[in-house]
Amino acid sequence: MVALVGVSGLAEWRRGRRRDLDRVGWMPWTFIQIMALLLAIVGAALALKAG
């Protein structure tokens, strides 16, 4: 999940720097990044609780 947060952050950064502003794209990178971050936090909390 942490890797997915990084990849989606990079993709959102690239979309923000695009040359052709009319080519918006269809992937909701911000939503994917937030969900992956939340899942990573929940996973880490569960791993600490179990250990």
**Res 32 pLDDT > 80:** yes
Q: Percent of the chain beyond pLDDT 90? A: 75
Tokens 């994917």 appear where? 32
Q: Where are the domains of the chain?
A: 2-18+25-50
How confident is the model at residue 50, as a pLDDT? 85
How confident is the model at residue 35, as a pLDDT? 97
**Res 25 pLDDT > 90:** no
Whole-structure pTM value:
0.80
Contact 11, 29 (CB under 8 A): yes
